[in-house]
Chains A and B, each alone.
Chain A
Amino acid sequence: MRELELYYGPQHLGMVGNFSITLNVEGDRIKKATANPGYLHRGFEKLMECRTWMQNFPLVCRINVVEPDHIELIYSMGVEKLAGIEVPEKGKYIRSIYLELARVASHLFGLWAYSNMLGFDTVANWAMYHRDLILDLFEELTGARVYHIYIRPGGVRRDFPDGFEDKIIETLHTIGGKIPDYNSTFFDNRLFKKRTKGIGKLDRENAKKMGAVGHAIRATGMKYDIRKIEPYAAYDQVEWDVPTRKGGDAYSRLLTIRDEMIESVHMIFKLINKMPKKGTVYTKTPNPFKWKIPEGDAYVRCESSRGELGLYIVSDGGKKPYRAHFRTPSYSHGLTILENILAGEDIADVGNIMMSLYVVAPEIDR
C-alpha cells in the first residue's frame, strides 16, 4: 500500500474545466499521473455531420469556451478553402483585430486561473475584471459576451460600429495602465518566482517529441508561431515580434503569455492604424440552406492563444460536412505532456503546471 491514489478533479477547486487527473502519489511526490478526460465529450464532430455548413457555426464555437473565436476562424478558413472563397481586405483586418482581442481576453482568463492556483486572489480578481472589459467590447460588436459567432465564411458578420476603434484603444489603454501593478504584485513577486521557477520543466527535445505548440514551445526559445509561419488574416501586414523565453518551465511559460499579451495589444494598435477605412467586410455566400460545397478535403491551421489549432475537414459535395476533425492544442498539452511532466513533481504544483500549460478541458474532449 505504498502508493496513494489521489483524484485531482473533476470536482476540485484547483481544476479549471471539467477534467480529472489521477495522481499516484508517494509521500507528496507524484509517481505517475493519468489524465482522465471525457467529462465534456459531446461528440461534436459527429454532431457536425448532421448539420449543414452554416448550422455548424453555433456548434463549433462551443468547442472551446475560453476562446471560441479562433475555432470560428478555423472553421471559416476550412470552408473558405474548400469552397474557394476570398476574404476582402477590410474583413481580414477586422478578423485580426478581433482575434487579437480574443487572445488578450483568453490570456487574462489564463492569468486568472493561474494566479488562482497559487492562491493569489488579488491578481485573479484584477485579471477577471480586465477580461470583462474586453468582453464588453465583444458584446457591443457582436451582441454576445461569450459565444460571438462573428466570423463567417468570407469575412466577418458586420463592420465595426462608429467609433469602435477608439473604444478598443481606450479599453486597452485602461488595461495597459495596470501592467505595472500586475508586474509588481505578480510577475516580479519573489514568492511567485519561487513557486514557478523550475516547475514543470519541458526541454526542447521533449517538447518536440510530445508535440508541444504555442507558448509551451515558445518558452523553450523557439519562435514557433503559425501567425508568422503561415500568415492568415492580416498578420503579414504589420510588423510584430514573437516573444520567447529560454527556461521551458512554468515561469517562462507565464512570462511568455504576459509578453504575448503586450505584443498583441501593440499589434492591435498597428492594425487599427493600417486598417482600410472603407470597403466590404465579407464576400457574399450562397443561400445557407442550399449551400453545397465541392468534394475534397483540406487541412487549415491557425495560432490560438494556446497554440496551433488545426482543422481537417472533408466534404463529399453535399450540404453537410462529411467529416471534421479539430486538432486542438490542449490535446497534446493536456494528455501527453501533462502526464509526462507531472511525474516527479509535488502535489502542490499540479494545478500550477496544468494552468501554465493552459490546458482547457472542453478542447480535449470536444
Chain B
Amino acid sequence: MDRNKLIKWIKTPAKMGNKYSLHAVYFCTGCGIIEIPPTITTRWDAERFGVTPAATPRQANLFLITGYVSLKTLKSIIRTYEQMPEPKYTVGFGSCPINGGMYWDSYNTIKHLDKYIPVDGWIAGCMPRPEAIFIAVTHLWKMIDNDMADGYKKYRNNYDQYRANQEKVLGSLDWPPLFK
C-alpha cells in the first residue's frame, strides 16, 4: 500500500471530525450576533450541521467574528483566539470586519480584521442572513478537505507580524507572546 494513502486514510477521521463538529465560540462581537440565535434555534437549527455554541474558547474550534470589532473587543478577540486549541477556524461575519463597513471612518473600530488575526473566510453583507452562515460552513468544509483552512498555521508562522500589528493599535498586551 502506498505510504501517502495510508497517511491520508489515518488523517481522514480527524478531518471528518473537524468538518462536522464545529463548536463556535460564543462571542457577540458586534451586531451580527442577532442572527446567531435564529441560526442555532428552531428555524435554522445549526446543530444539524454539527455547529453548536461552546462555553469557552478551549472547547471550540470555530470563531465567528460577528460584526464590527472595536479596539476593546479586539483585545478580547485576540485573547480568545489564542486560547482556542488548534486546528481552529475563523469566519468574519458581515462587512465590518472585512474593511470597516459602514464604520470605515470610526476612530474606535479596526478596519481589516485579517491584519490582526487570520481569517479563513468572510461572509459579506450587513446583515448576512442565517442561510449565509450555512453557506460559509459548507465552504469551510471544502476548505478543510483541501487543507485550505490553515489560518492557525499562518498565525503560528507569522506570529511576529501579527503581534506587531496588534501592539501597534492596542499598545502593549497584558499577556506574554504565545509563540516565541
Q: Is the CB of B70 within 8 A of A39?
A: yes
Q: How many residues of B contact A (CB 8 A)?
A: 35
Give chain B residues whose Cβ lies under 8 Å from the Cβ of A17.
28, 33
Give chain B residues whose Cβ lies under 8 Å from the Cβ of A66.
34
Q: Is the CB of A128 within 8 A of B68?
A: no
Inter-chain contact total with CB atoms closer than 8 Å: 96
Q: What is the bound-complex CA distance between A129 and B109, given in angstroms? A: 32
Q: Is the CB of A42 within 8 A of B103?
A: yes
Q: Is the CB of B73 within 8 A of A39?
A: yes
Give chain B residues whose Cβ lies under 8 Å from the Cβ of A125.
41-42
The smallest C-beta distance from A49 to any residue of chain B, in angstroms, reads 11
Give chain A residues whose Cβ lies under 8 Å from the Cβ of B33.
17-18, 65
B80 on the A face (CB < 8 A): yes
The chain B residue with its CB closest to the CB of A36 is: B72
A118-164 contacts to B, CB under 8 A, are 124-126, 128-129, 131-132, 135, 144-147
Contact of B42 among A15, A39, A129, A135 (CB under 8 A): A129
Q: What is the bound-complex CA distance between A46 and B108, given in angstroms? A: 11
B82 on the A face (CB < 8 A): no
Q: Report if A112-B37 is in contact (Cβ < 8 Å); known contacts: A11-B25, A11-B76, A39-B73.
A: yes
B27 on the A face (CB < 8 A): yes
B76-99 contacts to A, CB under 8 A, are 76, 80
Q: Is the CB of A39 within 8 A of B72?
A: yes
The smallest C-beta distance from A309 to any residue of chain B, in angstroms, reads 17
Q: What is the bound-complex CA distance between A90 and B14, given in angstroms? A: 61
Q: Is the CB of A43 within 8 A of B107?
A: yes
B152 on the A face (CB < 8 A): no
Q: Is the CB of A18 within 8 A of B73?
A: yes
Q: Report if A65-B31 is in contact (Cβ < 8 Å); known contacts: A11-B25, A42-B106, A125-B41.
A: yes
Give chain A residues whose Cβ lies under 8 Å from the Cβ of B109.
42
Bitwise interface map of B from 37 to 74 toward A, beta carbon under 8 Å scored 1, else 0: 11001110000000001011100000000001010110
Give chain A residues whose Cβ lies under 8 Å from the Cβ of B144.
none
Q: What is the bound-complex CA distance between A13 and B60, given in angstroms? A: 12
Q: Is the CB of A10 within 8 A of B107?
A: no
The chain B residue with its CB closest to the CB of A7 is: B76
A222 on the B face (CB < 8 A): no
Q: Is the CB of A146 within 8 A of B70?
A: no
Q: Report if A10-B106 is in contact (Cβ < 8 Å); known contacts: A128-B37, A128-B43, A132-B38.
A: no
Q: What is the bound-complex CA distance between A131 and B37, given in angstroms? A: 10
The smallest C-beta distance from B105 to any residue of chain A, in angstroms, reads 6
Give chain B residues whose Cβ lies under 8 Å from the Cβ of A18.
27-30, 33, 73
Q: Is the CB of A47 within 8 A of B106?
A: yes
Give chain A residues whose Cβ lies under 8 Å from the Cβ of B30.
18, 40
Bitwise interface map of A from 282 to 326 toward B, beta carbon under 8 Å scored 1, else 0: 000000000000000000000000000000000000000000000
Q: Report if A129-B28 is in contact (Cβ < 8 Å); known contacts: A42-B68, A42-B106.
A: no
Q: What is the bound-complex CA distance between A112 and B38, given in angstroms? A: 10
Q: What is the bound-complex CA distance between A129 and B39, given in angstroms? A: 10
Contact of B41 among A11, A12, A128 (CB under 8 A): A128
Give chain B residues whose Cβ lies under 8 Å from the Cβ of A58.
102
The smallest C-beta distance from A205 to any residue of chain B, in angstroms, reads 34
Give chain A residues whose Cβ lies under 8 Å from the Cβ of B120.
none
The chain A residue with its CB closest to the CB of B39 is: A128
Give chain A residues whose Cβ lies under 8 Å from the Cβ of B57.
11
Contact of A38 among B34, B68, B72 (CB under 8 A): B72
| Closest 3 pairs (CB-CB, A-B) | A65-B31, A129-B42, A128-B41
Q: List 30 A-B contacts (CB under 8 A).
A: A11-B25, A11-B56, A11-B57, A12-B26, A13-B26, A13-B53, A15-B28, A17-B28, A18-B28, A18-B30, A18-B33, A18-B73, A38-B70, A38-B72, A39-B76, A40-B68, A40-B70, A42-B109, A43-B108, A46-B106, A59-B102, A65-B31, A65-B34, A125-B42, A129-B43, A131-B38, A132-B38, A145-B129, A146-B127, A147-B126
Q: Which residues of A contact B (CB under 8 A)?
A: 10-13, 15-18, 38-43, 46-47, 50, 58-59, 62, 65-66, 109, 112, 124-126, 128-129, 131-132, 135, 144-147, 361-362, 365
Q: Which residues of B contact A (CB under 8 A)?
A: 25-31, 33-35, 37-38, 41-43, 53, 55-57, 68, 70, 72-73, 76, 80, 102-103, 105-109, 126-127, 129
Known: A41-B108, A365-B70. 18 other contacts (CB 8 A): A10-B76, A12-B26, A13-B55, A17-B33, A18-B33, A38-B70, A39-B70, A39-B73, A39-B76, A40-B73, A42-B70, A42-B103, A42-B108, A42-B109, A59-B102, A126-B42, A129-B42, A145-B35
